[in-house]
A and B are shown apart, each in its own frame.
Chain A
Amino acid sequence: MIEVQNLTKSFKDLVAVDGVGFHARNGAITGLLGHNGAGKSTTLRILYGLLKADKGRAMVDGIDVMTEPLKAQAEIGVMTDAHGLNPRLTAREHIEYFARLRKMEKTEIQRRIDELIVTLDMSEIADRRAEGFSQGEKMKVCLSRSLVHDPQNLIMDEPTNGLDVMTTRSVRSILHKLKKDNKCILLSSHIMQEISALCDEIIVIADGKVLMQGTLDELARRTNESDLEEAFMKITRQG
């Protein structure tokens, strides 16, 4: 469960996040929808403890990210915008590294990696070095290493950017399975199609402010537009 209240963050003169507040519940996929530069990544980075907010509160399972960042980080899995794989390490080594950093048991690590390799269909690349991986393959490695410790909360920044249909579909099915396991999933995207296909709850962000939060149906009702894209345009124009 992720809660954000009145979050504010400026970089010099630019106010990137301006009083953002929302709630992402367990057993649901919550999507931050906004243009590039709307403040989505900044909000997420505050949530996973790499940026300090100027004002406001960010809570993960009741733990304040600002005061206890390491404890909060232990409760989340994060897929950052940049994949940042090391070309000389194999897919398995990447996942293993993060699992070790999360203090998992050796046997548990192996069991979990084997499981993820099957779920994400990675057997072909598991023992290959990351050099030359396709976007989809890189994405699978990143997703596995953010899920290896079976976190209660999953934060994903632009998860389906540049993916082919096959990978997108397998990512979707994994997210749906996580949702069924009562996990809390928070993702950001600027792709309407992605958001409408995946998210139970949509938060529309523009210029660092939350303009609207609700389910797809609620957004449609409040804007009188059945199509999310049209609804989004209407909301952001008002803002």
Chain B
Amino acid sequence: MMWSIITRKELKDALRDRRALGALLLFPILGPVMIYFMFNMIIDIAEEAGEVSLPVIGAQYASDLIDYLEQNGIEIETVNLNAAANPDSDFYSNAQLEEISVAISSRRFDFVLLIPEKFDELIGASRSSNIELHMESTRTTAAPKIGRVDGLIQAWGRETAALRLIARGVNPAVIAPVNVVRVDTASQQSRVQSILGMVPFFVIMAAFVCGMGVAVDVTAGERERKSLEPLLVNPVPRYTIVIGKWMAAVVFSAVGLVLVMILNFFSLSLVPLEEVGIVFNVGSLEIIGVLVTTLPLALFAPSIQIFVGIFAKSFKDAQAYLSFIMMLPMAPFFFNMLNTQDREFWMNFVPMLGQHMLLTDVVRGETPEIIDFLLAGLSLLFYSLLFVYGASQLMKRERIIFS
């Protein structure tokens, strides 16, 4: 085939080009590595939140509350202060508070519970007592632990209040007309889901990044080298030339896609996903499905890049134009983030959006409909051919050949 002569030549050239090869090999590694580290971070946080160790000052003053916390899986760590107590007050002295804040800022602990001396006494007398939870709210890793401790203390308070009311012959429901029951469907999982949502983004991005070097070189590069005119002197139709060049970029884009896919699944298989309650089974059927979904992207991304690249007179021009094109893969990602409605039929016909949704389904372990695969793939193929046709038309323009 005539176009394959051009493709082979461009590939030979690209394989000798360190810049194009670099983009092909470096980018696919980036995403999976990021995903791997992000997952491990989340899993670490999840594990830590499970076993909360709570530093307490004055634990002996609130025996009932401390028992309650321990029963609910909080490990109490008694902290003794060195600074002198305030003999005139039943609360802690300024020197002691200073010691606490130093201990937190020096990261001896992230938070600490302060129980005043009269706590049990006040509670026993059916009065209320302050209790202080000292922390630094900017330490996000501690936030889930603090939330847990806070929640348990509140719960204990409600229980105590209920007991007091019962002792006085009042139904506790009197002061608790509404009870909000939170049914947490695992917040860890949803966070994991949002990271999994990045997989399609990286895959679509790979289609754009990996073929770009070649796409630019065979178009704007050819113009910059002034080698387009000698090439067009040969009796070869313009569309054949454009297809040949397109295909060279497609090969790079496709290799990048497959690489990013393999590496993504590899990095996901390294993460102990079951610890955060995610079952991630990838069989050969899923892999085939993902490939069928994404390979049209390797046709589409280079087709735009070739089209834009022909407009550009030089690498510099092309880079400026294509930096806008690189924003395109973000569009379906953001759309999916903001979109609250379900998948609708028309979405299959929006370039990249269809693929994005199919990939999201597959990554979440759902099986999309065959018709969605077909429609999304075929419509993308159609758009690609449109750009290739446009590029062939551009290559007929005298101003593009000779400048």
List the interface of chain A (C-beta within 8 A of B): 45, 48-52, 69-71, 73-74, 76, 78, 80-89, 93, 97-98, 100-103, 129, 142, 145-146
| Across-interface contacts of A70 in B (CB, < 8 A) | 235-237
A142 & B13 in contact (Cβ 8 Å cutoff):
no
Known: A50-B229, A73-B233, A82-B226. A88 touches B401 (CB 8 A): no
Chain B stretch 207-264: residues in CB contact (< 8 A) with chain A: 222, 225-237
Residue of B17, B237, B398 near A51 (CB, 8 A) is B398
- B10-28 vs A: 1/0 string, CB under 8 Å? 0011001100000000000
Q: How far is the CA of A146 from the CA of B233 in the complex (A)?
A: 9
Q: How far is the CA of A98 from the CA of B6 in the complex (A)?
A: 10
| Across-interface contacts of B232 in A (CB, < 8 A) | 50
Closest chain-B Cβ to A80's Cβ sits at a distance in Å of: 5
Closest to A69 in B: B235
B13 & A82 in contact (Cβ 8 Å cutoff):
no
B5 & A101 in contact (Cβ 8 Å cutoff):
yes
| Across-interface contacts of A76 in B (CB, < 8 A) | 233
Q: How far is the CA of A83 from the CA of B229 in the complex (A)?
A: 9
Closest chain-B Cβ to A2's Cβ sits at a distance in Å of: 15
A78 & B237 in contact (Cβ 8 Å cutoff):
no
Closest chain-A Cβ to B14's Cβ sits at a distance in Å of: 9
Known: A86-B225, A97-B5. A142 touches B12 (CB 8 A): no
List the interface of chain B (C-beta within 8 A of A): 2, 5-6, 9, 12-13, 16-17, 222, 225-237, 398, 401-402
Residue of A78, A86, A97 near B233 (CB, 8 A) is A78
Closest chain-A Cβ to B32's Cβ sits at a distance in Å of: 30
B225 & A85 in contact (Cβ 8 Å cutoff):
yes
Known: A52-B398, A88-B13, A142-B230. A73 touches B235 (CB 8 A): yes
Residue of B12, B234, B235 near A71 (CB, 8 A) is B235
- 25 intermolecular pairs with C-beta atoms under 8 Å apart: A45-B402, A48-B233, A49-B233, A50-B233, A51-B402, A74-B235, A76-B233, A78-B233, A80-B233, A81-B229, A82-B230, A83-B230, A84-B222, A84-B230, A85-B227, A86-B13, A86-B225, A93-B12, A98-B230, A101-B5, A102-B235, A103-B2, A129-B16, A142-B230, A145-B230
B17 & A78 in contact (Cβ 8 Å cutoff):
no
Closest to B6 in A: A101
> Sorted from nearest, which 8 A-B pairs have the closest CB atoms?
A84-B227, A82-B226, A73-B235, A84-B226, A78-B233, A101-B234, A70-B235, A88-B16
Q: How far is the CA of A191 from the CA of B228 in the complex (A)?
A: 26
Q: How far is the CA of A87 from the CA of B225 in the complex (A)?
A: 9
Known: A70-B237, A89-B13. A100 touches B230 (CB 8 A): no
Closest chain-B Cβ to A102's Cβ sits at a distance in Å of: 6
Residue of B6, B225, B230, B237 near A80 (CB, 8 A) is B230
Q: How far is the CA of A3 from the CA of B398 in the complex (A)?
A: 23
Closest to A81 in B: B229
Q: How far is the CA of A56 from the CA of B296 in the complex (A)?
A: 46
| Across-interface contacts of B228 in A (CB, < 8 A) | 84
Q: How far is the CA of A103 from the CA of B240 in the complex (A)?
A: 13
| Across-interface contacts of B233 in A (CB, < 8 A) | 48-50, 73, 76, 78, 80, 146
Known: A73-B235, A97-B5, A101-B236. A82 touches B229 (CB 8 A): yes
Q: How far is the CA of A102 from the CA of B228 in the complex (A)?
A: 16
A83 & B226 in contact (Cβ 8 Å cutoff):
yes
Q: How far is the CA of A99 from the CA of B199 in the complex (A)?
A: 45
Q: How far is the CA of A87 from the CA of B13 in the complex (A)?
A: 9
| Across-interface contacts of A71 in B (CB, < 8 A) | 235
Q: How far is the CA of A84 from the CA of B224 in the complex (A)?
A: 9
Closest chain-A Cβ to B315's Cβ sits at a distance in Å of: 13
Q: How far is the CA of A71 from the CA of B236 in the complex (A)?
A: 10
Closest to B222 in A: A84
Closest to B221 in A: A86
| Across-interface contacts of B16 in A (CB, < 8 A) | 88, 129
| Across-interface contacts of B398 in A (CB, < 8 A) | 50-52
Q: How far is the CA of A71 from the CA of B237 in the complex (A)?
A: 11
Known: A45-B402, A50-B232. A84 touches B237 (CB 8 A): no
B17 & A98 in contact (Cβ 8 Å cutoff):
no
A78 & B235 in contact (Cβ 8 Å cutoff):
no
| Across-interface contacts of A89 in B (CB, < 8 A) | 9, 12-13
A50 & B235 in contact (Cβ 8 Å cutoff):
no
B225 & A98 in contact (Cβ 8 Å cutoff):
no
Q: How far is the CA of A131 from the CA of B234 in the complex (A)?
A: 23
Q: How far is the CA of A97 from the CA of B229 in the complex (A)?
A: 15
| Across-interface contacts of A83 in B (CB, < 8 A) | 226, 230
Q: How far is the CA of A13 from the CA of B398 in the complex (A)?
A: 16
Known: A84-B228, A101-B236. A50 touches B12 (CB 8 A): no
A80 & B234 in contact (Cβ 8 Å cutoff):
no
Known: A84-B226, A88-B17, A89-B13. A102 touches B402 (CB 8 A): no
Closest chain-A Cβ to B95's Cβ sits at a distance in Å of: 74
Closest chain-B Cβ to A167's Cβ sits at a distance in Å of: 19
Closest chain-B Cβ to A193's Cβ sits at a distance in Å of: 26
Closest to B226 in A: A82
Closest to A101 in B: B234
| Across-interface contacts of B6 in A (CB, < 8 A) | 101
